[in-house]
């Protein structure tokens, strides 16, 4: 009942899975540039509302991450009429 000709193919498969998992682990540890968030954001636009009430598209790379929180008075008085 033993089938000895399947053993080399199983070993090759297990070696392939092992090598592939090592490559994935090394890639996540090194943080490849194609996995970088800024590289993924480049070229994408974000729709934003201007102070005078117009909808515009802004490149996402130009938006800074250090933003200040808007206050209630800012929200109530931000549109120029």
pLDDT tens-digit series, residues 22-81: 888 887 777 665 555 555 545 688 898 888 889 999 888 777 777 778 888 887 877 665
Q: What is the pLDDT of residue 3?
A: 59
Alpha-carbon gap, residue 3 to 9, rounded angstroms: 12
DSSP annotation of 35 reads: G
**Structural domain boundaries in the chain:** 9-66
Alpha-carbon gap, residue 38 to 21, rounded angstroms: 26
Judge if pTM exceeds 0.85.
no
Alpha-carbon gap, residue 63 to 44, rounded angstroms: 11
């Amino acid at each position: 009942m033993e089938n000895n000709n399947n053993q080399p193919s199983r070993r090759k498969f297990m070696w392939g899975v092992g090598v592939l998992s090592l490559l994935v682990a090394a890639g996540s540890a090194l943080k490849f540039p194609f996995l970088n968030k800024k590289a993924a954001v480049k070229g994408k636009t974000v729709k934003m509302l201007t102070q005078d009430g117009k909808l515009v598209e802004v490149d996402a790379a130009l938006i800074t991450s250090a933003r200040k929180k808007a206050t209630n008075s800012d929200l109530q008085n931000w549109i120029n009429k």
